[in-house]
Amino acid sequence: MRLKDKVCIVTGTSGYIGQAYAVRLGQEGAKVVLADIKPSKETEEAVHKTGAEWLSLTVDVTSEESTKEMARATVARFGRVDCLLNNAGIIRGPGMGARPIEEVDLDAFDRVLAVNIKGVFLCIRAVVPYMKQQGGGKIINISSGTWLHASRDRASNPHYVASKAAVAGLTRALCKELGQYNINVNSLAPGATPHDRRDQILAAGPDFEKEERALGRPCVPEDLTGTAVFLFSEDSDFITGQMILVNGGMETW
């Protein structure tokens, strides 16, 4: 177990990608905090089956008070917070499909940036005082490969792409500020990953990025979890400020 007794917060755990992260961390011996605006019983049960200690919290990542309470509750339960995985995110905002820039709803634009970048900022700000006090910690921010390569679909979703580029920028900025406190900040950038179970994804047929991937198959949530374990483990102690692409070998511009 590479993360035995590490206390790890994972945001956005109601979806299957967040669930996959949480389950893998539990399997690696971590104590897992499940943070989502709508907690998932399925995720709670899945993590419980790993034998890990866990805590489920209702958290709105766009609220400063909610994220501060997330950190306080974690420390109250487990005594510390070693790792934060900023996975919570949305693609287009409520009720919004793909749109050309002239038709992007401004409320949807604001909501995507509030969750995808402000939420990352607030969650980091909430845990940093505890990490400083205990002498270090590890932070992973989930970015995306969408800002490194474009397609017609991505070009019609500019607020999501911009938010994920901002996550990468925030990661670079904070690694400089927090490195002196032994806090590592990295980002993980997946290719397109359906929010479904592995067997459902592989049985669903062609993946729209399949032909672009060197490995020639869809990305499944479990493809992402090993990188998270590595970045939270002692093996990555001298790695910070980096963005790791987990995309099956897609070309980037």
Instruction: Give catalytic residues, as residue numbers.
Output: 160
How many CA atoms within 13 Å lie on the side-chain side of 163? 28
Q: Which residues contact 206 (CB under 8 A, 6 or more apart)?
A: none
How many CA atoms within 13 Å lie on the side-chain side of 214? 7
In the block, residue with structure tokens 């590592």 = 184
In the block, residue with structure tokens 């996959």 = 20
Torsion angles phi and psi, residue 26, rounded to 5: -60, -40
Which residues are registered as beta bridge partners of 153?
none
Q: CA-to-CA distance for 130 and 132, rounded, in angstroms?
A: 5
Instruction: Tell me the two tokens of residue 114.
Output: 């509030």
Pairing between strand 243-246 and 54-58?
unpaired
Residue pair 162/146 in contact (Cβ under 8 Å)? The answer is no
Name the amino acid, one letter, at 153.
Answer: D
What string of H, E and C letters represents the secondary structure of 17-61?
A: HHHHHHHHHHHCCCEEEEEECCCCHHHHHHHHHCCCCEEEEECCC
Sign of CA dihedral 113, 118, 120, 123: negative
